[in-house]
Amino acid sequence: MRVYTPLEVAGRNIYLREGCYACHSQMIRTLRDEVDRYGPYSLAVESSYDHPQLWGSKRTGPDLARLGNKYSDAWHVTHMNNPRDVVPESVMPAYRWLLRDQLKTEDLGDHLRAMRAVGVPYTDEQIQFAAQDAYGQANPDSPEASGVAERYGEATNIRTFDGRTGPLTDMDALVAYLQMLGTLTDVAHTSETAEVE
């Protein structure tokens, strides 16, 4: 299990802020149709760094536990900007302000420190470079980008999530978070999965 990057933490906080958890679960149950629809069922370890968990209680929209890298970044940006542009029947709100609003990154180190206080194993270095890593993750050609892979692993998504380089938007953070969902560990895909009811 790797920990969330600062940009993913910021994206997760936007997910909370907009109340996404009220319509989307992040918990695939041990039922055949759920595994067929969404992927391997969720394991306890996969939410062990989630303070708080976002298992959810209602699926007005589909489960998101294994959403990561299922769709392109461009699809997510279009979908967030107006869901009915890509899914005509969708009832999800259009989150147009995500592309407009600048992401606040200067206090991300404090966020990581608070998460360390409740048990997430962030290193001093990760806390120190939090704001810089957030910028680097969404600007792959910038000098800041190399530190992200160094501190969070080569498998980390380092892309221009909202399609634009330079200053970060809320959209960058949210798409970075969504594209990571279900990819922090591959134990659910590799382990001998128990029988499904």
Partner 1 sequence: MLADFTRGERTGALVILGTMVVLGLAMAIAGRHDLLGIHGWIVFGISLALTFGAIRQLDLPEPSPERLSEYYDAPTRTGLILTLIWGVVGMGAGFWVAALLAWPEMTFDVSWLSWGRLRPIHTSGVIFGFGGNALIATSLHVLQRTTRARLPDALSPWFVLIGYNLFCIIAASGYLMGLTQSKEYAEPEWYADIWLVVVWVVYFFIYMRTLARRKEPHIYVANWYYMAFILVVAILHIVNNLAVPVSFGSAKSYSLFAGVQDAMTQWWYGHNAVAFFLTAGFLGMMYYYLPKRAGRPIFSYRMSIISFWGITFMYMWAGSHHLHYTALPHWVQTLGMAFSVVLLVPSWASAGNALLTLNGAWHKVRDDAVLRFMALAAIFYGITTFEGSFMAIRAVNSLSHYTDWTVGHVHAGALGWVAMITFGSLYSLVPSMFKRERIYSQKLVEVHFWLALSGTVIYVFAMWNSGVIQGLMWRTYDETGTLSYSFIDSLVAMHPYYIARAFGGLLFLLGALTALFNVIMTIRMPAIGMAPEARGDLPAEPVMQAGE
Which string of b and e fits 37-52 if b means at least 16 CB within 10 Å?
ebbbbbeeebbebeee
Is residue 183 near partner 1 by the rule CB under 8 A? no
- C-alpha 168/C-alpha 97 separation (Å) is 13
Contacts 24+ apart (CB under 8 A), 94-98: 95/18, 97/170, 98/14, 98/169, 98/170, 98/171, 98/174
CB of 146: closest distance to partner 1 in angstroms? 27
Among 60, 128, 165, 191, binds partner 1 (CB under 8 A): 60
Is residue 23 near partner 1 by the rule CB under 8 A? yes
Among 115, 145, 168, 175, binds partner 1 (CB under 8 A): 115
Structure tokens at 5: 């990057």
Is residue 53 near partner 1 by the rule CB under 8 A? yes
Is residue 33 near partner 1 by the rule CB under 8 A? yes
Q: Is the distance from CB of 31 to CB of 195 less than 8 angstroms?
A: no
CA atoms within 13 A on the CB side of 62: 12
Output 21 or 152, the one with its CB closest to partner 1.
Answer: 21
Among 8, 11, 73, 118, binds partner 1 (CB under 8 A): 118
Give the DSSP H/E element, type plus range, for residue 178.
Answer: helix 170-180
Among 39, 61, 68, 163, binds partner 1 (CB under 8 A): 61
Q: Which spans of this chain sit near partner 1 (rule: CB under 8 A)?
A: 13, 16-23, 25, 27, 29-31, 33-34, 36-37, 42-63, 83-84, 87, 89-97, 107, 110-111, 113-115, 117-120, 197
